[in-house]
Amino acid sequence: MFEGALTAMITPFRDGKLDEQRLCEQIERQIKGGIDGLVPVGTTGESPTLDFEEHERVIELSVKTAAGRVPVIAGVGANATSEALQLHEFAKKAGANGGLSVNPYYNKPSQEGLYRHFMTLADRVDLPIVLYNIPGRTGITMSAQTVARLAKHPNIVAIKEATGSMDITSEIATLCDITILSGDDSLTLPLMSIGAKGVISVLSNLIPTQIKQLVKLAAEGRYADAGKLHRKLFPLMRAMFLDGNPPGIKFAMQHAKLDSGEMRLPIWEATEGTKSQIAELMKGLDISK
């Protein structure tokens, strides 16, 4: 259901408030760049710093602006099942095509707890769910066995794999046929070589057309060409995360005259050293693509 190059959208803030006009402009640029889908209010979208009203507004605006031209997979995760349920219900009501639902963070549930959390969401809301496995943010890794159990539910259709482990991805692909999407730009090509169907990308905020091309080449089995583009973009992919996410991509957008405004505390801007490195790596890059 969800494949290709999808963008983990940044959330634009201006003077402490959601910049709705800039958000709509960003969406239009992504669609013009040929991206296959939009993923608002995820990690890159600074979702933990948005209150419920703002979170819902970003989902609502994204769906309205996309207007069916590309799917919208709304960030709907939370570390309390009741709160996640509320977000899933809103995304369904707003017309989102799916929900990106992260492992509950901080409280570190057991594998059975993870299973029951996601099964509750899948049973209660008729919305396609993309699981989100990112232990670096949540403190818990969903096992391949738990993913396979969940994949039996018709509403659980994909997983964003951001464990950084090729072995976990291989094991998931061995145990079930759930759609796997890379959660790391730098691992898109390696993961697609073992069965992943695309990426939920940070860097595509800046260069949607080039990320789409990388995924397209890999999907067509043109790995030599895909590898050439991967190696060209790899240093910038890695630099995006030197000071966490989204400080890197927000600076890159600003540097490219595509300013997305400030971040919200406790997220702070990239260091001068990181900014210099990103600016140097952006030289010669066609930002229009």
Active site residues: 132, 160
C-beta contacts of 45-52 below 8 A and 24+ residues apart: 45/8, 45/9, 45/10, 45/11, 45/75, 45/246, 46/10, 46/11, 46/246, 46/263, 46/264, 46/267, 47/11, 47/75, 47/77, 49/264, 49/265, 49/267, 50/11, 50/18, 52/86, 52/87
The answer to whether the CB of 267 falls within 8 A of the CB of 49 is: yes
Q: What angle do CA 67, 71, 77 make, to 5 degrees?
A: 115
Q: How far apart are CA 190 and CA 52, in angstroms?
A: 36
3-state DSSP call for residue 103? coil
5 phi, psi to nearest 5 deg: -100, 115
